[in-house]
Structure 1
Amino acid sequence: MSTIPAAPLRQPTSTRRVAAAATVGTALESYDFYAYSYFAAFFAGPFFFSALGETGALLASFATIGIAFVVRPIGAVLFGHLGDRIGRRSTLLITITLMGIATGLVGLLPTGEGWAAFGAVALVVLRIVQGLSLGGEWGGAVLLATEHADARRRPFFASLPQLGSPIGSVAAGGLMLAMFFGLGPEAMAAWGWRVPFLIAIPLIAVSLYLRWSIDETPVFKELAERGERAKNPVWAAIRTQPAAFGVAILVALLGIGSYSLMNTYTMGYGVTALGFDEMQLLTAATIGGLLQFVTVPLFGVLATRIGSARVVALGALGTLLIAFPIYWLLGSATFAVLVALMIIGGILPTASWAALGGTMQELFRGRHAYSALSVAYALAAVLSGFIPSITAALGAATDEAWWHPGLVLALLSALTLVGAVIAGRMRKLGDEDADAAQAAVAETVPEPA
């Protein structure tokens, strides 16, 4: 007696495709940040805020950078809610679309005296849209990567979205340098500045294809089938796991804050106070960024062996030990020593950065994980955004003492070390939910006849 064979089950999304889909958004986020930072430094003031005078135009252009950070927690609440209600994949399709369109439209803004007011308002609106979308990007990317992975490889896949930062910074910096050298300042001011933003438009197509072609995560599928999605996930996360929120923010401080300190404040401090050339500092920072292409996945592999929280703790402890020596040596460093210091000072915080997603993902229940990760990360990013100004104020108060940036770096390291130690001792609720969801999916697969 013959039987009709059953239709083949759809193969699960490949881990490579999931990793690419998770990483592409954080890369575009970083690319947008650095491309706009260069634009704000050179062109935004003269094009859109010239009526405020030279100083006022510069301050206004830099304020547009800060707008994205201010609205980021709002975006975390909004898209975190959607991510826990309609799904990780669907929400990430929305965030990447908003981010790419807003970035591309910046490159289409009209300039000239007659358009200055319209351009200024439109620029602020687009920056708000970018900030909102960024608030929902990182947490979803981490969950997309980890909730598709098995328990053994989950810490490694959680590290892959962190590659977006060096990818975006190197791409934006390299493109701007190449265009400045290739076109010259006049052509850059006339039309060349638009190119880095317009490139975001084809990047949307690639990003959407990658995210459209993957499945929803097993964790969210299981929550939806069982009717266990939280009605108000942000409030549910705060109400049921308040301690985890505090721990997650502590864990994130060094990974995010060290980047603001080393790549923002130290750049200006190195030129004005230590006498380094701008190109020397940019070269050293670029070498450090390129090195992250290797160190981030390596620390992700290490996290699969010893756990994400321990990797964060090792990075924080190592950074704490070298915080003061680095800035003591920096005052009399040659270019070769400068590069070495930037590499060493970048590798250790990178350990905490690489294992950040895995550590935070383990802290929160799947039913409100998108909201919890997004809001905690956004709050840590907002706090870290003030680090350059706090360090500058400390420098002014101490008459630019060599140790003042080291003190800030040491404090960030100590806080993250405490957070990592506590996180390592908490229950891995995120892993428990992911394991249960994958087990439930496996039970639905029929055994071969």
Structure 2
Amino acid sequence: MTTTTAPSGAAPARSSSSARVATAATVGTALESYDFYTYSYFAAFFAGPFFFSALGDAGALAASFATIGIAFVVRPLGAILFGHLGDRIGRRSTLLITIALMGVATGLVGLLPTGEGWALFGAIALVVLRIAQGLSLGGEWGGAVLLATEHADARRRPFFASLPQLGSPIGSVAAGGLMLVMFFGLGPEAMAAWGWRVPFLIAIPLIAVSLYLRWSIDETPVFKELAAKGQRERNPVWAAIRTQPGAFGVAILVALLGIGSYSLMNTYTMGYGVTALGFDEMQLLAAATIGGLLQFVTVPAFGWLATRIGSARVVALGAAGTLLIAFPIYWLLGSATFAVLVALMIVGGILPTASWAALGGTMQELFRGRHAYSALSVAYALAAVLSGFIPYLTTELGVLTGGAWWHPGVVLAALSALTLVGAIMAGRMRRLGDEDADAAQAAVPEEAPAPV
């Protein structure tokens, strides 16, 4: 795609550079991940005492964790709402709304009043803000993937589809690293008094950066072509379900390992490692952070591999590899030293990361452009909701098996097998998304720079 130069006196042309577009897409998913992990730490340490103390210690902790779940519950509603907007008013315009909603809601959490007199107001406001964040989450990922891929040429599309996936490690490392630095630098008392607000308030300048990046880019060729030809769906969510029901099921299967392994490894295994295996919390957090840092290399590497062998094959490769190590990794974990723990977190992270990195490219290929925003958003949101129950289901399986070492391996193996089946089926389907993107780019004439 070429970038046009505006004539003197006209508004400056927005950029269609694939790199700039991918950056704009990735920033949003990074902010999404940053919010998730920042709020998870807040819920674990502060939300209960600040807003739910009237429920008692156990009730306050349960209520604070329930506010995490609220965002997952409303996520499909956000996917339907913003998916509809993304297929009706455009990818870029909708992503400006989602990032603004996310950033404002996150920043306002840091401004909530605390104290006994404000407990009820704070609790209600916190729930409302979490609902707003959950709605935004539902519309962010699908649009980010389309923004990155519908601007890219066919050869590089799988690589650019992997870049929004970098948002997860960027957000998790930023949130975890900031929390560690602040806890060590300020101490528990200062953190409880005012320090907890800082990670939320940082979201406000991040909004400005994200909005600028997304405002400065152009709408995607696919949507512009659909709008020009009057081919936008009146009800894109229903159209996607009605015309491509099989693709919906395949997309959910493809997404399960990439999303679910994160819930299993970074949520359940953390608690399991402390309570059942005797690891120190800081050891597990350090190992997870190292694994997150490694994704800065592995995600684009697997994205590059997808340009060579195809996105669906990379997803299948990650799923098959994870299936092979699912039981050995938990068998070794029971007697691991810290060095072995780090090694296991790295190995256990690399293979699911292959499925995660190629997830966007695989799902984008499945759906027609006219309802792609809705289809990607809803399928991803449903997979995320299912994955949100993985820590609970794994805990129950542990109870049923008497805490057998292999019970988390069963869950990881099941996720891997389902995603492997989905990837094989996806690889055999027509690449409808690519066909629409190729046609839209071919219809855009080359534009010469305007004379100065």
For this structure pair, what is the TM-score category when the shorter chain's length is used for normalisation?
A: over 0.9
Cα deviations by residue, 1:96-134 (Å, 9 ceiling, x for unpaired): 000000000000000011100000000000000000011
Aligned to 2:100: 97
Answer whether contact 2:14 2:218 (CA < 8 A) is retained. no
Report % sequence identity: 88
* Structure 2 contact 74–134 (Cα < 8 Å) conserved: yes
| Deviation, structure 1 residue 10 | 5.0
Q: Which residue of 1 aligns with 2:89?
A: 86
Match of 2:429 in 1: 426
Deviations 1:200-256 (A, max 9, x none): 000000000000000000000000000000000000000000000000000000000
1:50-449 matches, within 5 Å, as 50-442=53-445, 445=447
Partner Cα separation in structure 1 for residue 7 and residue 110 of structure 2: 48
Name the CA distance, whole Å, in 2 between partners of 1:382 and 1:430.
25
CA distance in 2 between counterparts of 1:115 and 1:87 reads 41
Count of residues in correspondence between the two structures? 442
Q: Within 1, Cα distance between the matches of 2:404 and 2:142?
A: 38
Give the CA deviation at 1:334: 1.2
d(CA) in 2 for partners of 1:445, 1:326: 55
Q: TM-score under structure 2 normalisation? A: 0.96
- Residues 55-96 of structure 1 deviation map (CA, whole Å, 9 limit, x = unaligned): 111100000000000000000000000000000000000000
SS at match of 1:167: helix
Pairwise CA distance, 1:156: 0.2
CA deviations 1:390-446 (Å, max 9, x no partner) are 00000000001011000100000000000000000000000000000000003x647
The CA distance in 2 between the partners of 1:336 and 1:38, in whole Å, is: 25
Give 1:3's aligned residue.
none
Q: Does structure 1 retain, via aligned residues, the 8 Å contact 2:72–2:388?
A: yes
| 1:46 corresponds to 2:70 | no
Q: Distance in 2 between matches of 1:349 and 1:16?
A: 25
Partners of 1:434 and 1:411 in 2: CA distance: 34
Question: Against the structure 1 CA distance between its residues 178 and 239, is the aligned structure 2 distance closer, same or farther, given a 3 Å change threshold?
Answer: same
With structure 1 as the length reference, what TM-score do the two structures score?
0.97
- Rounded Cα–Cα distance in structure 1 between residues aligned with 2:274 and 2:43: 20
2: CA distance, partners of 1:63 / 1:277: 25
Residue identity opposite 2:287 in structure 1: A
8 Å CA contact retained: 2:366, 2:432: yes
**Structure 1 gap segments, 5+ residues each:** 1-5
The amino acid of 2:279's aligned partner reads F
Compared CA separation, residues 446 and 181, structure 1 to 2 (3 A): closer
- Partners of 1:407 and 1:186 in 2: CA distance: 41
Q: Say what the alpha-carbon RMSD is for the aligned residues.
A: 1.4
**DSSP-derived class of the 1:149 partner:** coil
Superposed CA deviations along residues 250-304 of structure 1, whole A, max 9, x for unmatched, are 0000000000000000011111111111111111111100000000000000000
